Amino acid sequence: MELMRDSFIRQYLSYVGETEAPIFYHRWAAISMVGAYLGRQYSFSLGHFELYTNMYIMLIGEPGTRKSTAIKIAKKIITAAGFDKISGDKTSKEKFMLDLAGIEDGSLDSGNNKGFKGKSLEALLDENLGFNTEELGDDCEMYIACDEFNDFIGIGNLEFISLLGNLWDYNGVFKNRIKTGKSVSILNPTVSILGGNTSTSFANAFPPDTLGQGFFSRLLLIYGEETGKKITFPIMPSAEATNKIVSALQRIKMVVKGQAEIDPDAKALLEKIYTSGKKMDDVRFASYANRRFTHLLKLCLIISACDYSNKIEHAHVIEANTILTHTESLMPKALGQFGRARNSDVTHKIMSILGNATHAMSLKELWAYCISDMDKVDDLANQLRNLMTADMIFVVDGKYLAKAKRAAEVDSDTVDYNYLTDEERNMS
C-alpha cells in the first residue's frame, strides 16, 4: 500500500518536530484539531443520522509525559487559523452552556445577546415560546482544549459529564435549564474535546458510575509514556513554518465540505470491520465497544479531510482503523485500575512502578514507593498476592515483575502499522 505523503497529519508531525511528548499525543492532537475546525461542514450519512468530525479525546499519562505540550501546540495552531470558539480553562456547567450559546456575561440581565440576529434574549430563553430555528443563527461550536481537564469539569460533576455525553452528536435545538429558571436554546451544539489527565486524576474526576454512562462510551483515552527524550532547548519553529501549517489547516476548511462520498472498496472494508470486529477484553469498555464503529467513521472523515479529500477511500479506512486499533490496545493501560476495586489507586501505582521497572523489584523496594499509601507493609504484601492471583504480576527469585499482555490479533487486511512511527509501534 502506498502511504499518503502529503497528509496534513504528516505535515503537522513534521512541523511539531522533536519534542519530549509522545508522538502519539501529537497525532491525536492534530486529529482533534481538524475535527473541531471542520465542525459540521463535513459529515457522513449513517441511516437516519449524520455523523460529524467532532471527537472527545483525553490524553492520559503520568506527570511529565508532556500532555500540555501537545494540547497547547494544537490550540495555538487552530487559533492562528482563525478559530476562536475555544472554552475557558475553568468553567461551570451553566457558564459553559451560555458560552456555547454565544451569550456573553451580563446579557441575561441586559437583553443583549450577540449572534442571535437581534431576537430578544427573553424570547430565546422562554422555554414555552415557539421559534424558527433560522432565528437562532449559526450552529453553536465549542472546542474544549484543556491540558488540566479536571480544572475544567470539576470533581465528580456527574451532571456536567452527562450533559457533555448528550451533546456529542446532537442534532437540532438543545434546550437546557440554567440557574435563573430559564432555558438556553442552542442550535446544533457541536462540542470537541482535547483534554489532559493522569490515571489517578481521571479517577478523581469521573466516579466509577460513569463507566456505564454515555460520556464514557464517547471518550477516547490516548495513553502515553515518558519518551526518555531530554531536550534542554527546544527549537522554535520559524514564522514561515507556522504560516505553512496554518495555511494547510485553512486549506482543509476551504476544500472539505458537504456529505462525504465513499469508495466502494472502502465501504466493503468498513462492513468487514463492523461485522467481524472483536470486542475489547476489558469489561470496563463494554459501552465503548458498542460505539466503536461510530468512532471509526468519525476518524475516517478526519483522515480523508487531512488528505484534502471529500471522499473516504480504502487507504483512509486502513489508516483510521490502524490508529484506532493501536489506541484501543493501550486504553486499559490509560485507565489503570479505575473502576476495578476499592484500592484501585494503590493498585495502579504498583502496576505503574512494576511496568516501568527495568528489573524485578523486591518487597522492600516497592515499600519505599508505597509507604505513604498504606499503613503497614503487610497491606502491600496482600496487594501483591491479589495481583499475582489476577495473573497481572509474577515472582522471580522472590522479586516482582509486571506480566506483559499479548496484543490481540487483528486482521492484517484491516490495519497497516506502517502508518505509525517506530516510537508509536514500540508503545505496545
More confident residue, 206 or 340: 206
Per-residue cell: 99: 458560552
Q: What is the pLDDT of residues 156-170, one digit of tens each?
A: 888 899 899 999 989
CA–CA separation, 216 vs 235, rounded Å?
Answer: 37
Nearest alpha-carbon partner for 284 in 222, 328, 326? 328
Task: Give the mean pLDDT of 267-281.
Answer: 86
User: Do residues 185 and 23 lie in contact, with contact meaning Cβ atoms separated by under 8 Å?
Assistant: no
**Among 46-60, 258-272, 341-355, which stretch is predicted with the lowest mean pLDDT?**
341-355
CA–CA separation, 249 vs 245, rounded Å?
Answer: 6
Percentage of the residues of the chain whose pLDDT score is greater than 90? 44
Nearest alpha-carbon partner for 27 in 79, 74, 84, 83? 74
pLDDT band at 239 (very low <50, low <70, confident <90, very high): very high
Given the C-alpha cell 474526576, which residue does it identify? 205
pLDDT band at 396 (very low <50, low <70, confident <90, very high): confident
Given the C-alpha cell 485507565, which residue does it identify? 335
The per-residue pLDDT of the chain, averaged, comes to 84
Task: Give the mean pLDDT of 321-327.
Answer: 95
List where CATH 3.40.50 sits in the chain.
8-102+140-336+412-425
CA–CA separation, 310 vs 270, rounded Å?
Answer: 17
* Residue 119 pLDDT greater than 60, yes or no: no
Cα separations in angstroms, 324 against 314, 366, 372, 403: 16, 34, 37, 24
- Give the model's pLDDT for residue 342: 53
Task: Give the mean pLDDT of 26-52.
Answer: 95
User: Do residues 107 and 121 lie in contact, with contact meaning Cβ atoms separated by under 8 Å?
Assistant: yes
Nearest alpha-carbon partner for 7 in 412, 328, 313, 327? 313
- Give the model's pLDDT for residue 292: 93
- Give the model's pLDDT for residue 428: 60
More confident residue, 411 or 367: 367
More confident residue, 105 or 250: 250
* The CATH number of the domain covering residues in 344-402: 1.10.10
CA–CA separation, 101 vs 95, rounded Å?
Answer: 10
Cβ neighbours of residue 67 under 8 Å, at least 6 residues apart? 21, 25, 59, 60, 61, 147, 196, 197, 224
CA–CA separation, 312 vs 305, rounded Å?
Answer: 9
- Give the model's pLDDT for residue 40: 95
Given the C-alpha cell 453553536, which residue does it identify? 140
- Give the model's pLDDT for residue 212: 66
User: Do residues 364 and 381 lie in contact, with contact meaning Cβ atoms separated by under 8 Å?
Assistant: no
List b or e across 141-157, with b for residues whose CB sees 16 or more CB atoms inside 10 angstroms: bbbbbbbebbebbeeeb
- Give the model's pLDDT for residue 12: 97
pLDDT band at 105 (very low <50, low <70, confident <90, very high): low
Burial class of residue 23 (count of CB atoms within 10 Å of its CB; 0-12, 13-18, 19+): buried
Task: Give the mean pLDDT of 232-258.
Answer: 95
More confident residue, 286 or 117: 286
Q: Give the 3-state secondary structure of residue 77.
A: helix
List where CATH 1.10.10 sits in the chain.
344-402
- Give the model's pLDDT for residue 117: 43
- Give the model's pLDDT for residue 131: 39
Strands of the sheet containing 141-146, edge to edge, are 141-146, 190-197, 56-60, 219-223
Task: Give the mean pLDDT of 272-297.
Answer: 85
**8-102+140-336+412-425 has CATH 2.60.40 classification:** no
Maximum average pLDDT range among 12-16, 89-93, 107-111, 208-212: 12-16
Percentage of the residues of the chain whose pLDDT score is greater than 70? 84
Cα dihedral 331, 335, 340, 345 sign: positive
Cα dihedral 123, 128, 134, 137 sign: positive
More confident residue, 344 or 317: 317
Helix axes 344-356, 377-389, angle to 10 degrees: 80
* Residue 309 pLDDT greater than 50, yes or no: yes
More confident residue, 323 or 288: 323
Question: What torsion do the CA atoms of 117, 123, 125, 131 make, to the nearest 10 degrees?
Answer: -70
pLDDT band at 15 (very low <50, low <70, confident <90, very high): very high
Q: What is the pLDDT of residues 340-355, one digit of tens each?
A: 555 666 777 787 788 7
**Among 12-26, 30-44, 90-104, 177-191, which stretch is predicted with the lowest mean pLDDT?**
177-191
* Residue 107 pLDDT greater than 90, yes or no: no
Cα separations in angstroms, 301 against 61, 62, 104, 240, 308: 27, 31, 33, 29, 11
- Give the model's pLDDT for residue 178: 64
More confident residue, 9 or 117: 9
Nearest alpha-carbon partner for 166 in 187, 202, 191? 191
Task: Give the mean pLDDT of 116-122.
Answer: 43
* Residue 33 pLDDT greater than 90, yes or no: yes
> Within a 10 A sphere around the Cβ of 377, how many other Cβ atoms?
14
Q: Give the 3-state secondary structure of residue 350.
A: helix
- Give the model's pLDDT for residue 244: 97
Where does 238-285 have alpha helices with state H?
A: 239-255, 264-276
